[in-house]
Amino acid sequence: MRSIRRMNQPRILDGKAVAATVLEECRTETAALKQKGITPGLAVVLVGSDPASAVYVGSKARTCADLGFHSVKIELPEDTTQEELLKVVADLNADPAVHGILVQSPPPKHIDEETVIRAINPQKDVDGFHPENVAKLVLEDSSAFVPCTPAGCMKLLEISGIDTRGAEAVIIGRSMIVGKPMAMLLVAKGSDATVTIAHSRTKDLAAVCRRADILIAAVGRPEMVKADWVKPGAVVIDVGINRIPDATRKSGSRLTGDIDYAEVAPRCAAITPVPGGVGPMTIAMLMKNTIKAARQSI
């Protein structure tokens, strides 16, 4: 770990700024691929009309357009059957202009998300959830597509100059979307952290978190992590994004993470804000994965 900063002056890990750097790299890489006659193509499929999902899909489409990608946005009604959705995925698998496929999560309850993930060609699985890519991640195979949020967390740590080697990292959350792949990335050769995955059944969760040089919260519970959970001088990555009531706002609500930012920040060496921390990195790494898919298709 780098030297610990003086208390009460946490370094803010600005995901927007780091994501902008990553997207500039994407712009350069896209231009180079286009000179070879290849335009990176990303297809995003949205089933239903969930407002939050619609916002995410719109943001991804705008980023694709800004980078000069071939962008396909497919919006399907709420009552789309699983068979109809699988047919859409099959058509995208067969489309040579599409290098990456993303089916926005969560789908409606009648859709078996695991079946849909397995139907995506693993060479186009830019979300990194197909079992083949999960296995490659565990094996540290460089051709793997890494799930975008954990990849974004790692890139944020890397570009911010935070050394993970020898650090004790604690991840709160064991999902396949964040917790488990995050652990694989941190424990991999080159990252060399000592990793604990904690969750709702962990005994004395606060005490486990207090051991962490790097604490990553990804549980979806607003402001769950309090100051006395955090080791002084720790680096804190807040993956959570939750909307909670706030009568002082025009909208009547505000976004917050899984970390109680006001309490925790004064104890930290560095911390991500919500919004503006991990969120922008997720979309940037999706673009990176799409470019990688296009390059690997050559």
Is 104 designated active site?
yes
Catalytic position from the list 60, 155, 180, 292: 60
Catalytic position from the list 104, 123, 136, 288: 104
Catalytic position from the list 127, 213, 238, 260: 127
d(CA 231, CA 264): 10
d(CA 216, CA 231): 13
Q: Under DSSP, is residue 270 helix (H, G, I), strand (E, B) or coil? A: strand
Is 35 designated active site?
no
The tokens of 41 are what? 């193509």
d(CA 229, CA 210): 5
DSSP state of 46: E
d(CA 150, CA 157): 11
Chain centroid to CA 45: 18
Q: Residue 260's closest CA among 220, 297, 222?
A: 222
d(CA 257, CA 188): 27
Q: Work out the angle between the directed axes of helices 148-159 and 179-187 (0-180°, nearest 10).
A: 40
The tokens of 221 are what? 């519970």
By annotation, the residues acting in catalysis are 60, 104, 127
